Amino acid sequence: MCGIVGYAGGRQASEVILKGLQRLEYRGYDSAGMALLNDDLELIKVRGKVRDLADLAEKHDPHGTVGIGHTRWATHGEPNDVNAHPHTGTHRQFALVHNGIIENYNVIRQDLEKKGHTFTGETDTEVLAHLIEEIHEMSDIDFYQAVQQALLQVEGTYGIAIVHKYHPDRIIVARKGSPLLIGVGDGEYFVASDASPVIEYTHKVVYLEDEEIAVITRDGYEVSTLKNVRLTKEVHELAMNLEQIEKGGFPHFMLKEIFEQGDTIGDCMRGRLIVDENRIQLGGLDGYVDRLCDARRVIIAACGTSWHSGLVGEYLFEYLARIPVEVEYASEFRYREQLIDEQDVMIVISQSGETADTLAALREAKRRGALVLGICNVVGSTIARETDAGVYTHAGPEIGVASTKAFTAQVTVLTMMAMLAGRHRKVLSDELMRELVRELRDVPARVRAILEDTSGIEKVARMFTYAPNFLYLGRSYNFPVALEGALKLKEISYIHAEGYPAAEMKHGPIALIDEHMPVVVIAATDHTNEKVVSNIEEVKARKGRIIAISSNGQSDVARLAEFNLSIPEIHDCLSPLLAVIPLQLLSYHIAVNRKCHVDQPRNLAKSVTVE
């Protein structure tokens, strides 16, 4: 949540910052601002999007080759001009941008008010700025040391960048719990919440760790711990390129990412699905497969869409590897009485690798001795670095706030992990393994086949654009897909939707069904097909509007449904990889029809780095 960009070099900092903030806007978009160092400290900030900041900047014509910028997702204080970052102290000598939450800000604020500080807004960040000012002005330590001391006093999380008008060549940055990296250029250096603002200028980055602080100038950077131990940091080479973070001719990132899935699922399997040898190879798990296979149980912890892929994983691990699995919301797990120890294995799943609740669950499981494996998309992210081992999804940058290609890549990884464990435990037969290896190999082509003609989905979207409610039903592997379809619709089109196991409908939700209720039924698995057909009959008897996702050849489903969106036939356990695609597209087209902001839905942010 919230995006930070900073620049020190030979270019106009405002240009680098505005472009960078645009790329980070998926992290928050309710207000934006920047601070530039020239003869003075120039501050521009505004409620609204980065585009609004750019318009304002055009009027001010800001200049300076050192500066910082911020795009906000509000936690403390409503989105308005005053609460927008950067924030300053009373004497406006420095400006600070912040990602995270200062939890003890209220106590600090009251104390500072007694000392004469006056606050203009309600943010925790402004309190941090005043605290730094107070420490600096009331002691004989320099500004950098004042920042260090203030950070040692605050509780909570932060990624910060600060510029000071009497040190016009430098940016101070620090991190605890909110990601920050330094981009290493030639005669220019950057700071950013993720690599997207930096990639245009350099592929070399240094990841800051918790409680590290750095000073960046156009000539270099120095990193230390908050307690002043100088560090030599490894410089990483980024594997992503600029094209991957641009829309490539699509009107929205979400649509581009949906259409990429034929490729991304293939990329995820490359070098891992060894078809000729009928085996799976996951280098990231080397040395850990025995412990995974001997686990008393596997606990999967994740949030949102990643939690849904975890639910698919539960079915996969139990069927293919015969290992008991529990799937936990990371946010619930972290505060439960956790009965987890070294006999258990936790798998954390996260597209961003920065989700605060998932990170907390990971740390708690590790503290209690469990092996923690990760499934992450963002290479070098905090979760990827803190897990004992793991498998990257290699889906490429996902910019649309609604997660799509990350879901299918996560399910692909979970499928491969379950197959690997099943073989290792000798519970997955040669024959079934051969069938699944072949079927998995063909998934990308089948995804492309679905995407070739989306006119049926668009028609359904037109039909139900203004429906106030939706029900999504699925069974077995496709129950989580029903949840995912409902989540996609809710988050980007603001239509209330619920996902249910199809057979649970009769225990309550059936009361909602009348001639106005669209009911999306995922009927793509064979072994529960007859049961789902009965559920469809039940909806039909109550005049519900049935939209079915069925495999080619399920003529009974096609006959009963008002709209039938067919997908290619595939083994039951792989069907979520196909069944989710029409649901992603359905929510996309409904949101576009309703003129919603598809890539940046209201109130949301791509990566949730606060509790």
**For 48-188, where are the E strands, in sequence order?**
66-72, 94-99, 158-164, 171-176, 181-184
- How far apart (Å, rounded) are the C-alpha atoms in residues 226 and 175? 10
301 binding ligand M6R? (CB under 6 A)? no
Q: Site for ligand M6R (CB under 6 A): which residue of 31, 157, 351, 566?
A: 351
Q: In this chain, which residue has its C-beta nearest to ligand M6R?
A: 304
535 binding ligand M6R? (CB under 6 A)? no
For 113, the 3-state DSSP assignment is helix
Q: Which of 2, 293, 303, 376 is flagged as catalytic?
A: 2
Q: Site for ligand M6R (CB under 6 A): which residue of 31, 88, 196, 352?
A: 352
* Interface segment toward ligand M6R; rule CB under 6 A; list 45-53, 174-182, 334-342, 349-357: 349-357
Distance of CA 329 to the CA centre of its chain: 15
Q: Which of 19, 488, 490, 606 is flagged as catalytic?
A: 606
491 binding ligand M6R? (CB under 6 A)? yes
Q: Contacts with ligand M6R in 353-372 (CB under 6 A)? A: 355, 358
Q: Which run of H or of E encompasses 110?
A: helix 105-114
> How far apart are CB 594 and ligand M6R at their closest, in Å?
17
| The residue to which tokens 């209690």 are assigned | 368
> How far apart are CB 17 and ligand M6R at their closest, in Å?
25
350 binding ligand M6R? (CB under 6 A)? yes
> How far apart are CB 493 and ligand M6R at their closest, in Å?
13
Q: Site for ligand M6R (CB under 6 A): which residue of 6, 177, 304, 544?
A: 304
Token representation of residue 200: 């245009």
Name which of 305 and 528 has its Cβ closer to ligand M6R: 305
Give the x-and-dash track for 548-587 against ligand M6R (CB under 6 A). Answer: ----------------------------------------
- How far apart (Å, rounded) are the C-alpha atoms in residues 537 and 523? 13
Q: Which run of H or of E encompasses 209?
A: none
282 binding ligand M6R? (CB under 6 A)? no
> How far apart are CB 350 and ligand M6R at their closest, in Å?
3
Name which of 381 and 528 has its Cβ closer to ligand M6R: 381
> How far apart are CB 298 and ligand M6R at their closest, in Å?
18
- Asked whether the beta carbons of 445 and 263 are under 8 A apart, the reply is no
The per-residue b/e assignment along 474-512, b for 16 or more CB within 10 angstroms, e otherwise, is bbbbbbbbbbbbbbbbbbbbebebbbbbbbebeeeebee
Name which of 300 and 401 has its Cβ closer to ligand M6R: 401
261 binding ligand M6R? (CB under 6 A)? no
Q: What residues contact 133, with CB distance under 8 A and at least 6 apart?
A: 89, 90, 91, 93, 94, 117, 146
- How far apart (Å, rounded) are the C-alpha atoms in residues 350 and 360? 12
Name which of 572 and 599 has its Cβ closer to ligand M6R: 599
Q: What residues contact 546, with CB distance under 8 A and at least 6 apart?
A: 519, 521, 536, 539, 540, 560, 561, 562, 563
> How far apart are CB 236 and ligand M6R at their closest, in Å?
20
Q: Which run of H or of E encompasses 223?
A: strand 220-225
Residue 287's φ and ψ, nearest 5 degrees, are: 90, -10
495 binding ligand M6R? (CB under 6 A)? no
608 binding ligand M6R? (CB under 6 A)? yes
* Interface segment toward ligand M6R; rule CB under 6 A; list 24-32, 273-281, 345-353, 590-598: 345-353
Name which of 86 and 179 has its Cβ closer to ligand M6R: 179
Name which of 47 and 589 has its Cβ closer to ligand M6R: 589
Dihedral class, residue 282 (left if φ above 0, else alpha if ψ from -120 to 50, else beta): beta
- CA 158 vs CA 28, 31, 77, 340, 430: distances in Å: 15, 18, 17, 29, 51
* Interface segment toward ligand M6R; rule CB under 6 A; list 227-235, 281-289, 395-403, 558-566: 395-403
306 binding ligand M6R? (CB under 6 A)? yes
305 binding ligand M6R? (CB under 6 A)? yes
> How far apart are CB 355 and ligand M6R at their closest, in Å?
3
* Interface segment toward ligand M6R; rule CB under 6 A; list 27-35, 188-196, 226-234, 303-311: 303-311
393 binding ligand M6R? (CB under 6 A)? no
Q: What residues contact 573, with CB distance under 8 A and at least 6 apart?
A: 315, 316, 319, 320, 415, 436, 477
For 3, the 3-state DSSP assignment is strand
- How far apart (Å, rounded) are the C-alpha atoms in residues 41 and 43? 6
Name which of 57 and 608 has its Cβ closer to ligand M6R: 608
Q: What is the dihedral of CA 370, 375, 377, 379, to 10 degrees?
A: 50
- How far apart (Å, rounded) are the C-alpha atoms in residues 126 and 108? 11
Name which of 478 and 584 has its Cβ closer to ligand M6R: 584
> How far apart are CB 435 and ligand M6R at their closest, in Å?
30
Asked if residue 601 has a cis previous peptide bond (ω within 30° of 0), the answer is: no
> How far apart are CB 177 and ligand M6R at their closest, in Å?
14
- Asked whether the beta carbons of 558 and 566 are under 8 A apart, the reply is yes
Is 596 catalytic? The answer is: no
Based on the number of CB atoms within 10 Å of its own CB, is 82 exposed (0-12), middle (13-18) or buried (19 or more)? middle
Q: Site for ligand M6R (CB under 6 A): which residue of 88, 393, 412, 607?
A: 607
Residue of 334, 565, 295 whose CA lies nearest to 451: 565
Sign of the torsion formed by the C-alpha atoms of 439, 441, 443 and 446: negative
Is 606 catalytic? The answer is: yes
User: Given the DSSP bridges, would you call strands 31-37 and 94-99 parallel, antiparallel or unpaired?
Assistant: unpaired
- How many residues of this chain bind ligand M6R (CB under 6 A)? 16
Give the x-and-dash track for 400-419 against ligand M6R (CB under 6 A). Answer: -xxx----------------
Name which of 338 and 351 has its Cβ closer to ligand M6R: 351
Which residues would be at the binding site for ligand M6R (CB under 6 A)? Answer: 303-306, 350-352, 355, 358, 401-403, 487, 491, 607-608
Residue numbers annotated as active site? 2, 606
